[in-house]
Amino acid sequence: MKTDDLIRALAADTLPEAGLSGRLWSVLVPALAVALTALWLMLGVRPDLAQAFGNPVSLMRWVLTGGLALVSVRAALVLARPEGSRVVRLWPLAAVAGAALAMLIWAFVTTPAEGRQMATVGKTIWTCLVAIPVLSVLPVGALFWALRRGATSVPALSGAVIGLAGSGAAAAVYATYCIEKSPLFYVTWYSLAIMIVTIASAAIGARILRW
């Protein structure tokens, strides 16, 4: 076949494909709604949810996890473009990580030495470490589904950023149940759960985001 013949066939195909961003939000929002509903049905809501939003230290868990999800979704959309790895800005991700670290240090300094261990260990480590990855499955799956239509030139990195976005959002969902008060707990264990999902997503991305 001559290339000009191929071009004729390609040019005749004028059906438009939906843009990535619209496609992404149209599946991510329902995925998060389902995750939230499932969490509330299985584990319940923290009884003091309304007050938790009013308390700055507690509110930070949503600011950090939600912020992580938003900047990661943006980065994932850029990375889904073939030239994205050359134009993407990853410093917002570093900024969120820096803020989380600052929060951790602040809590360490302001918590009396004898209370630190108890504040860090809390009562729900395992619930947290299991629930966040489980709640991540739908949002991460939705993001992969949407961005497989993309054309990333860095599949593993794209997968990792998708993992950060999905698990960050899942952590924000989980925070509506989590009653642990101290940033020593939530920064430490949310971060670990998010890391686990991110590493798994990088491995998945390396396989399924090729094109």
Partner 1 sequence: MAEQMDDWGQLLAAANAGDAQAYARFLQAVAPMLRGLVRARGGSLGEAGCEDVVQEVMLAIHLKRHTWDQAAPVRPWVYAIARYKVVDAFRSRGRRIDLPIEDFVDVLPAAPGRDPTEAADMAKMIGMLDSRSEMIVRKIGLEGASMAETGAALKMSEGAVRVALHRALKTLAILRERHIE
Contact set with partner 1 (CB under 8 A)? 1-20, 80-83, 86-87, 149-151, 153, 211
Residue 34 or 151: which CB sits closer to partner 1? 151
> Radius of gyration (Cα) for the chain, nearest Å?
20
Tell me the closest approach of the beta carbon of residue 167 to partner 1, in angstroms. Answer: 25
Residue 142 or 154: which CB sits closer to partner 1? 154
Q: Choose among 134, 192, 189: nearest CA to 166.
A: 134
Residue 19 or 98: which CB sits closer to partner 1? 19
Q: Taking a C-beta distance cutoff of 8 angstroms, is the pair 11, 56 a contact?
A: no
Residue 88 or 93: which CB sits closer to partner 1? 88
| Cβ-Cβ contacts under 8 Å for 162 (sequence gap 6 or more) | 72, 76, 140, 143, 144, 147, 201, 205
Tell me the closest approach of the beta carbon of residue 112 to partner 1, in angstroms. Answer: 52
Residue 2 or 109: which CB sits closer to partner 1? 2
Q: Choose among 200, 209, 189: nearest CA to 61.
A: 189
Tell me the closest approach of the beta carbon of residue 9 to partner 1, in angstroms. Answer: 3
Tell me the closest approach of the beta carbon of residue 211 to partner 1, in angstroms. Answer: 7
Number of H helices and number of E strands within the chain? 10, 0
Tell me the closest approach of the beta carbon of residue 207 to partner 1, in angstroms. Answer: 13
Q: Choose among 186, 194, 192, 196: nearest CA to 103.
A: 186
Q: Taking a C-beta distance cutoff of 8 angstroms, is the pair 73, 31 a contact?
A: no
DSSP state of 46: -
